[in-house]
Chains A and B, each alone.
Chain A
Amino acid sequence: MNGMDLDRALTDIDARYIEETDKTLSGSLSGMTKGNRTHKNYMHTALLAACLVALLAGTVVAGAKELKESRFLELFGTKEHAQKLEEAVITKDLTAKLGDVTIAVEDIVVDKHIIYAEISTDYVLDEPDGWLHEACDYSLEITGEAVFAVDEKYACFKGASPFCRDGKLWYLYVIEYVDGIDLGHKKMQLTVEDTENHKAKFEWVNNYTAKSEVITVNREVDGITVTDIRFSLTEMVVYAKAEQEFTLSFDYIRLDDGTVLYYDENNGMLSRMAGSGKGRSVADEEVMEAREFFTLLSGFAEKDSKEWQFVPYERIVSISFNGTEIPIR
């Protein structure tokens, strides 16, 4: 018998002795400072995911990934989804301390032209999970963008929305280059500042190649020509032109199994957070051009249903505008 044997036997003693000591010493044994708690939790989650890869193989790994996916999609009100984010969810774990609060860029969800950054804080809230519609005592100013050469300027939609997750304050920050800039392999920077001017800057390089597809349509509907439709994982952009001011009225999309899905651009925070919206420009004196953005993350549902779906763009076989259904595949 040696010390190792004694230690092993000591480990296995009755749980009530462990509990008794733990309770007495609980302040030092169980406590962690507020400041690093959230980060540690998510560090563990990341490490845990790595262990699962090694030891539990594919199904459990997929499960852990699905959990992150689900939580992200639930923000948008999407519960059931045939489409998967899969490799689009990239763990970042970039942390900084702003005063007493720890901030972390936990994950980014990446697409061809959009990045959704999930930013955690360890600021505790007495709110249910979900979007925060009223200001709380603590807030952050977030700005972020891709880094381009000095003389390169591109139109960028960006914005942050606070939400509560697990009783803590989080932000979803969306960066979208509406001119179709591919964010894959671009250097990104994101600055976070609190109301007391504590500031932190996060930087990373996107190490991914996002899929996308541009379908040339060139179909005329009521004097309006739908020229192209650009798809990527989370977004559909419809390009159209006409010789005069026009309104392109979207009706529905049809999937390859015949399912018809309608769009509600007012679904929750979606219309302002996920790239839904319209852009209009004058191409020359004779032609008006327009583009309309639709998020595929949410907003599409069957008629009169509020069960929003994350739509796989490959399955969209036709789109209807102004009462005319246009086959695209």
Chain B
Amino acid sequence: MLKEIFLSDNQIIEMFCDGSESALEAVQKRYGAAMLRLARNILSDEQDAEECVNDAYLSAWQAIPAAKPSNLKAYLLQSVRNFALERLRSNRAKKRGGGVTISSYEELAECIPDRRRDEPDDNEKLKSQLESFLAGLSAEKRTIFLGRFWFSCSVAEIAGKMGKSEKYISNQLYNLKRKLRKHLDRKEG
């Protein structure tokens, strides 16, 4: 009786390529909830979160077809995350806003080895180091790490979804942060 009708990623991308505004509606229907959820996790302000999601829609509208994402959902979530983090930084600079990512963001910053803090930013290199770190983890540990630091979920939320105790997740995160710090230190050294 109950059903949701969604277009496939390829169909949506084709609509973007054709310049059809229906693509925005389709992408909103298919991934809007996930995008908003991510933005809400990063930003405590509902309006900020919704604006970031809309920024991501517009960014996709402008970028596709030049960019043909192989994984539309990940592409959109990455875009939302970028906009949300930018907004978070801006809010922090203006001393407003807050939310879970303030702590997850600061937690992640703790993973940077002291001797690399003055190093100029090299996004590609850092990305490659992060990917090799993730590749070396079990699927469960990757989920815990990315659940907390990529999706900005709370410890309680991750614990609930994975059927683990909060203490277990907290301990895993502690160990994962230490491991990442070592990994970044080793690669650099």
**Chain A interface residues (CB < 8 Å from chain B):** 1-22, 24-25, 27-32, 37, 40-41, 43-45, 47-48, 50-52, 55-56, 60, 63-64, 66-67, 124, 126, 166-167
Contacts and interface: CB of A to CB of B under 8 A. Distances in A.
Contacts of B162: 24-25
A30 B3 contact: no
Interface in B31-70: 32-34, 36-38, 50-51, 53-55, 57-58, 61, 69-70
Which 6 pairs of residues, A with B, have the shortest CB-CB distance? A3-B109, A15-B74, A9-B126, A15-B71, A21-B146, A30-B34
Q: B2, B21, B61: which has the most chain A beta carbons within 10 Å?
A: B21
A9 B146 contact: no
A14 B126 contact: no
A12 B109 contact: no
Interface in B74-114: 74-75, 77-78, 81-82, 85, 89, 105-106, 108-109, 111-112
Contact of A67 (B22, B32, B61): B22
B58 A17 contact: no
Q: A17, A19, A45, A52: which has the most chain B beta carbons within 10 Å?
A: A17
Dominant SS among interface residues on chain A: helix
A44 B46 CA distance: 12
Contacts of B69: 15
Q: B118, B119, B123: which has the most chain A beta carbons within 10 Å?
A: B123
A31 B161 contact: no
B134 A5 contact: no
Interface string B117-128: 111111100110
Nearest to A63: B21
A52 B81 CA distance: 20
B117 A11 contact: no
B153 interface: yes
Contacts of B106: 3
Contacts of A9: 123, 126-127, 129-130
B127 A12 contact: yes
B108 A6 contact: yes
Contacts of B161: 24-25, 27-28
Given A2-B109, A12-B123, A25-B153, A20 B3 contact: no
16 contacts: A10-B130, A11-B82, A12-B127, A15-B75, A18-B71, A18-B78, A18-B150, A25-B151, A25-B153, A29-B34, A40-B33, A41-B29, A44-B50, A44-B57, A45-B28, A167-B3
Given A5-B126, A9-B126, A12-B127, A21 B85 contact: no
B116 to A, nearest CB: 5
Contact of B139 (A20, A30, A32, A55): A20
A126 to B, nearest CB: 5
A285 B161 CA distance: 80
B58 A10 contact: no
A71 B21 CA distance: 13
Nearest to B134: A17
B37 A6 contact: no
B54 A47 contact: yes
Nearest to A136: B1
Contacts of B36: 32, 40, 44
B5 A7 contact: no
B13 interface: no
A229 B123 CA distance: 70
Nearest to A128: B5
Given A30-B37, A44-B50, A15 B55 contact: no
Nearest to A5: B121
A146 B29 CA distance: 34
Contacts of B22: 67
Nearest to B145: A21
Q: A1, A50, A52, A167: which has the most chain B beta carbons within 10 Å?
A: A1
B28 A44 contact: yes
Contacts of A22: 34, 73-74, 77, 151
